[in-house]
Amino acid sequence: MPQDNRRHPPARAVDRRGFLGLTAAAGAAAVLSGCTGGSAGDAAGRPRTGGRLRAAFSGGGAAEVLDPHETDLYAEIARAKAVFDKLADYGSDMSPQPRLAERWEAAPDLRTWRITLRQAAFHDGRPVRARDVLYSYARITAPRSTFRAKASLSVIDLPASREVDDRTVEFRLTRPYAEFPNALATLGAYIVPEGTTTFDRPVGSGPFRFVSFTPGRTFLAARNPDYWDGAPYLDELEIVVTNDEAARVNALLGGQVEYAHDLTPTSARTHERTGRIRVHRLPLSNFHGLAMKTDRPPFDRPELRQALFHLVDREELVRSVLQGSGQVCNDLYGKGYRYYADALPQRSQDLDRARALIRQAGAEGMTIDLDTSDASTGLEEAALTISDQARQAGLKLTVRLGNKDTYWSDISRNGVLAGYRSGAMPLESHIAQRLLSTSTTNNTRWQRPEFDALYHEAQSTSDEARRAELYFRMQEQLYREGGFLWWGVSDWIVASAPTVGGIDDRAPANTLDWARFDRVWLA
C-alpha cells in the first residue's frame, strides 16, 4: 500500500469490556447453525438463458476505475473479470488454471517459457494476439507504474521476450521459475488490446461486453455471445455498489438485487433459515494472524515467538472472532492449498509451555504493544482476545488501535507485534512476497539466507516431488520459529436469491470461480 506520511492521532489503547458477552452469544449461535448454502442449482433448477443479474458489492465511490490493471476493490475485480481475461487464473486449491493461455511449456533451465494462446477475440472482433500480451505486461511493469501485478510480472525480461507468431509468446525470465504460471494468474494481470490507454469504454475478451458505468454506483454489461469459453447464461450483468452491509442484505431481501457480496456471519445466520436467501460460505478465503518482527526486541528471541505459538487458543478465536465461520490454522499460511504442510502436528494452547518459553526469553512481566485496527473485520476483536489469552501466561499485551487508513503501511515500518490478515494466494506467492530477504512486503523481517536458498532451489527444479519436499522444509522452519502466527482461516460469505443457480461454494475469494457470473443463471 502507498505510504502516508501525514501526522495522525496517536494509537489508543483498547478495552475489551463488552466484547466477550457479544462473541460468546455469537459463537453459540454459530455452533447451532449447521446450514450452508451449497450449490444453488438445486433451488434454481437446470441452467437457462436470459435475464439480468443484479449483484451488490461494497465499493470505493467516485475513485473507482475500469482499468483492469488497477483493480484493488472486490467490486473492481468482479467488473474486470467480467470484461477481461488473464492468461491463467487460480483454481480452488490455488493452482494455476489455463485461461487465455491454451498451454504453457518451460525450457529445461526454467528461464524460458512458451505460451500458446487460445483462439479468442476481443469484443471489437480483433483476435487476441501475442503482441497484446506483451503490450499488457509492458504496461503493467512500466517503471513508474504502481499496478498490483507489477511485482509478480517483474521476473519477466520483457526486452528479451518475443512474439513467435500471433498465438505464441516466448517469455525470457531473469531467474529460473518453475511456478511461472502463478505470475500469469496474479491479480490484475489482465490482457488488453495493444495500444489501449483509456478505459472509459473498455474492450476486453471476457464473457461480458461493457455497456455503461457510473463510478461508485452501477456498472452494466451484456452477454458476449462469442466468448471463447462459452456464452454466459445471463443477458446482462449489473453490479451496484453500497458500502453498507445491511443495505446489501435488505436489497437482496427486497428483490432489488439477486446477489449480495460480503455478509457478516451474524447476517448470514439471521436470514439463511428463513428460506428467503441462500448463503454461500466460500472456504479458505481469509487468513487471520499475528506478525512478529524477528529483527528487533523482544521478538528477535525465537523463544518468545514460540511462546506466542503456544499461548494462543485458536479454537476460542475461531468461535468468538470468526463466529464459527472458519477453521483453526496451524501457524502456517495456506491451509488446504497446494504444497501446504498438513503433516505437521496441529498446535493447541499449552500455557505451561508458553510460560516456560517466556522465562527462557527473559520476558516475564514484560509489557508489549499489540497494534491493531478496525481496517478489517475482526482485526480488533482478535487482538483483544489474544491479549486476554497472553495474560494467562504472564505476558501483558497492550492493544493499540491504529489509523485504519494507514494501518498496513504503519505496521510495515513500525512496532513489533501486529494483527494481520491475508486473502488467498498460492503458497509460492506468499513466500516470494513476504518471506524472502528481498521481499518488498516482508512485515516480519524474516531474513534467512538458508530459507531463501530453499525457495530458489524449489523454483529451479522441474521435479514436482522434490519441490514439495523443499516447500515442506521451508514450512518446518516457519513452524518452529517464524514471525507469522496464523491462527485461523475464515469463509467469505455471499448470499443470493433462491432463484440464482451456478454459484460455486468451493471457490475462495479471488479465485477463478469466485464471482464467476458467466456461469450463473436465473430461474
Residue 159: asked if its preceding bond is cis (omega within 30°), the reply is: no
Handedness of CA 76, 191, 193, 161 (dihedral sign): positive
> What are the residues whose beta carbons fall under 8 Å from the beta carbon of 93, sequence distance 6 or more?
336, 337, 338
Our CA angle for 92, 427, 471, nearest 5°, is 125
25's CB contacts (< 8 A; 6+ apart) are: none
Fill in the DSSP letter of residue 507: -
CA neighbor of 509 nearest in space, from 312, 286, 278: 286
User: SS3 of 246, please?
Assistant: helix
pLDDT value of residue 405? 83
Q: What CA–CA distance (Å, rounded) separates 460 from 110?
A: 7
Sign of CA dihedral 121, 124, 129, 132: negative
Model pLDDT, residue 165: 98
Angle, helices 19-32/379-392, rounded to nearest 10 degrees: 100
Q: How many CB atoms lie within 10 A of CB 5?
A: 7
The pTM of the full predicted model, rounded to 2 decimals, is 0.85
SS (H, E, C) 129-154: CHHHHHHHHHHHCCCCCCCCCHHHHC
Taking the CB of residue 201, how many other CB atoms lie within 10 A of it?
Answer: 10
In this structure, are residues 80 and 190 in contact, taking their beta carbons and an 8 Å threshold? yes
Within 10 A of 382 (CB to CB), how many other CB atoms are there? 26
Give the pLDDT score at 349. 98
DSSP per-residue codes, 24-48: HHHHHHHHH-------THHHH-S--
Residue among 447, 449, 448, 471 nearest 459 (CA): 471
**Strand pairing report for 484-496 and 259-261:** antiparallel
Length of the chain equals 523
Measured on CA atoms in the order 148, 1, 378, 297, is the torsion positive or negative? positive
Per-residue pLDDT, 491: 94
Q: How many CB atoms lie within 10 A of CB 506?
A: 15
DSSP string of 378-447, one letter each residue: THHHHHHHHHHHHHHTT-EEEEEE--TTTHHHHHHHS-SEEEEEE----HHHHHHHHTSTT-TT-TT---
Helix (H, G, I), strand (E, B) or coil at 468: helix
The cell numbers describing 397, all together, are 499485551
**DSSP secondary structure of 254-309:** TTS-SEEE---HHHHHHHHTTTSSEEEEEEEEEEEEEEE-TTSTTTTSHHHHHHHH
At residue 457, the pLDDT reads 98
pLDDT confidence of residue 63: 85
Tell me the three cell numbers of residue 421. Answer: 490478515
What are the φ/ψ torsions at residue 427 (nearest 5 degrees)?
A: -60, -40
DSSP 470-499: HHHHHHHHHHHH-SEEEEEEEEEEEEE-TT
Per-residue burial over 310-327, b = 16 or more CB atoms within 10 Å of its CB, e = otherwise: bbbbbebbbbbbbbbbbb
DSSP string, 78-147: HHHHHH--BSEEE-TTS-EEESSEEEEEE-TTSSEEEEEEPS-B-TTSPBP-HHHHHHHHHHHT-TT---
CA–CA dist 175, 93 (Å, integer): 25
**What region, left, alpha or beta, does residue 187 occupy, with left being phi > 0 and alpha being psi -120 to 50 degrees?**
beta
* pLDDT for the residue 42: 57
* pLDDT less than 50: residues of the chain: 1-41
Helices 302-311 and 351-360: angle between axes, nearest 10 degrees: 160
